[in-house]
Amino acid sequence: MAAEEPQQQKQESLGSDSEGVNCLAYDEAIMAQQDRIQQEIAVQNPLVSERLELSVLYKEYAEDDNIYQQKIKDLHKKYSYIRKTRPDGNCFYRAFGFSHLEALLDDSKELQRFKAVSAKSKEDLVSQGFTEFTIEDFHNTFMDLIEQVEKRTSVADLLASFNDQSTSDYLVVYLRLLTSGHLQRESTFFEHFIEGGRTVKEFCQQEVEPMCKESDHIHIIALAQALSVSIQGMLVVSCVCACPCSAAARLAALCLAVPLPSSWPRGFHGNLEVPWGLAQGPRTTKASSCPLIGPTSPVLSRPGP
What does the pLDDT read at residue 15? 58
Distance of CA 66 to the CA centre of its chain: 28
Cα–Cα distance for residue pair 226/117, rounded to 1 Å: 9
Beta bridge partners of 230: 289
Q: Of 167, 191, 182, 162, nearest to 229 (Cα)? A: 182
Q: What is the pLDDT of residues 39-60, one digit of tens each?
A: 676 667 899 999 998 888 888 8
**Predicted pLDDT of residue 266:** 30
Bridge partners of residue 52, in order along the sequence: 82
Torsion from C-alpha of 259, 125, 268, 172, nearest 10 degrees = 100
| pLDDT tens, position by position, 55-78 | 888 888 778 888 888 888 888 888
Q: Does domain 52-300 have CATH number 2.40.50.140?
A: no
Q: Print pLDDT tens along the chain (305 aa).
A: 555 556 665 555 555 566 666 777 777 777 777 667 666 766 678 999 999 988 888 888 778 888 888 888 888 888 888 899 999 999 999 999 999 999 999 999 999 999 999 999 999 999 999 999 999 999 999 999 999 999 999 999 999 999 999 999 999 999 999 999 999 999 999 999 998 999 999 999 999 999 999 999 899 999 999 999 988 767 777 666 544 333 333 333 333 333 333 333 333 222 222 333 333 333 333 333 344 444 333 444 333 33
Instruction: Give the alpha-carbon dihedral of 270, 280, 230, 168, to 10 degrees.
Output: 90
Q: Is the pTM of this model over 0.75?
A: no
